[in-house]
Structure 1
Amino acid sequence: MEPIHLNRTIVNVVYYTQPLCPVSWRMQQHWHEFTTKFSELINVRFCMATRDAAGRNPVPGNEPSNIRACQAVKAVSLQSERAANLYLNALRKAALVDGKDISLTNVLVDLAREISRENHGLLDLQRFGTDFDSAASRRALQKDALKIRTNKIDNCPTITFTVNGSGFKVTGFHSFQQLAAMLKKALTPILPA
């Protein structure tokens, strides 16, 4: 892939997902490579889906764990999106690989503790405890639900790329190369000739 050159333009990338999404889990390695390689070009935000566009739980039978886990991700995101990315990855691994019940408070706290320990200074565990059931994290989750309805997000994962108010959305699994190509597409109108 050709290198991407730009004039300090930042692309706003919103990743619509939820902790129990198996497609997002399969895409995690590609997502991590994309967000790491292009960290100076993108501003990433997670939008957590507790329900699909029709109001159904995205993974039937897992509603309680999905909602609590989404709220935990929003609590972590109040500290940083980087911490939220790491936490979301840990949640997915715990639920989808290790078979843990991510609706349990002790599991959610243990995962936050692990992220805090492995990434010194990135996640304040005490603040996580305070933020988890706070009005701020509940409002953040409500804002996500409104954003999902407003932007007509029907499936997870969906990713939007926006520059100066214009952009596009893509749904489903995407490799690192595809994500990089989408970033280039988002920047195309402003790239130097």
Structure 2
Amino acid sequence: MDQFNTLTPTIKVVYYTHPFCPVSERMQQHWCRLTSEYGHHLSFKFCMAAGMDSAFPATKTKFACQAVKAAELQSSWAADLFLDAIRTEMAQGRQDLCEPESLLEIARMCAKKNPSTMDFNRFAQELDSRKTRQAVLDDLNKIRINRVDTLPTLTFTVDGKGLKVTGYKTYHQLVDLVKRVSQAGIDIVGFAH
């Protein structure tokens, strides 16, 4: 039985990360399971923290963050698919993931395997567009406003109020967070959208 049949509001999840965040890469399987099994109850998006991790300077992460935003212009599902592909390549030891050619190759592979989710030509056009550069700047502003200083950070909200958590989370912890924010009467805090 679907644990969330009683949910009426859509829960908004914002996942603050960057493509090469090692903690996010380790919890990728848990995130993918959550979105696969319960994504129809969630509205999710990624907030790219270019340059927040000292191991990955802004010059290295900025273009990869733009690539995630280029996919997200198509849909959150396209961004999720693309980010998962980057992290899979990272886990396999691929080193050139900041290079435009590599990002295009990954996007081409994603679009070929999932043509109903991702359009490679649109991705290629948006990769270094003004719109994607602005999206990364908007994300950095959101990070500042919401005082995010640890990656990954996730917010689970309904009507702008909910929970903010940081660090590694298992699938079961993620499901518990969704349940908590969907229940009435919890202590909640506000977040900027």
Report deviation, 1:48: 0.4
Q: 1:172 aligned to 2:191?
A: no
Checking the alignment, whether the CA contact within 8 Å between 1:15 and 1:157 is kept in structure 2 is: yes
> Are 2:26 and 1:26 aligned?
yes
Please tell me the residue identity of whatever aligns with 2:118. Answer: L
Matched-pair contact (CA < 8 Å) for 2:51–2:57: no
Q: 2:111–2:119: 8 Å Cα contact kept in structure 1?
A: yes
TM-score by length of 2: 0.90
Distance 1:106 1:94 in 2: 14
Consecutive aligned runs of 4 or more in structure 1 exceeding 6 Å deviation? none
Instruction: Work out whether residues 12 and 161 of structure 1, in 8 Å CA contact, stay in contact via their aligned partners in 2.
Output: yes
Q: Percent identity?
A: 38
Q: CA deviation at 1:98?
A: 2.5
Aligned residue type for 2:99 = L
Aligned residues of 2:107 and 2:120 also touching (Cα < 8 A): yes
Q: Secondary structure at the match of 2:27?
A: helix
CA–CA separation in structure 1 for the residues paired with 2:157 and 2:141: 18
> Does 2:34 align with 1:39?
no
- Structure 1: distance between partners of 2:68 and 2:56: 20
**Partner of 2:184 in structure 1?**
189
- Kept after mapping to 2: 8 A contact 1:161/1:169: yes
Segments of 5+ residues of structure 2 without an aligned counterpart are 186-193
1:143 to 138, 141, 164: 138
User: TM-score, with normalisation over the residues of structure 1?
Assistant: 0.90
Highest relative contact order (Cα 8 Å, sep 6+), 1 or 2? 1
Where does residue 73 of structure 1 map in the other structure?
68
1:102 lines up with 2:88 in the alignment: no
Where does the alignment leave 5 or more consecutive residues of structure 1 unmatched? Answer: 53-57
Match of 1:91 in 2: 86
> Is 1:115 aligned to residue 107 of structure 2?
no
1:49 and 1:61 map into 2 onto residues whose CA distance is 11
Q: Secondary structure at the match of 2:112?
A: helix
Q: Does 1:124 align with 2:119?
A: yes
**Number of matched residues?**
186
Deviation at 1:105, TM superposition (A): 1.3
User: What is the match of residue 17 of structure 2?
Assistant: 17
What's the CA shift for 1:95? 2.9
Q: Against the structure 1 CA distance between its residues 61 and 50, is the aligned structure 2 distance closer, same or farther, given a 3 Å change threshold?
A: closer
Contact 2:60 2:98 in 1 (8 A): yes
CA shift in 2, pair 1:2/1:86, >3 Å = closer
SS in 2 for 1:40: helix
1:56-67, aligned counterparts within 5 Å? 58-60=53-55, 62-67=57-62
Task: Please state how far the C-alpha of 1:61 moved relative to its aligned partner.
Answer: 5.0
Distance in 1, Cα, partners of 2:58 & 2:140: 15
What is the aligned-residue RMSD (CA, Å)?
1.9
Deviations 1:91-135 (A, max 9, x none): 122234232211211101000000000102221111111101111
1:2 shift after superposition: 8.7
Query: What is the SS of the residue equivalent to 2:40?
Result: coil
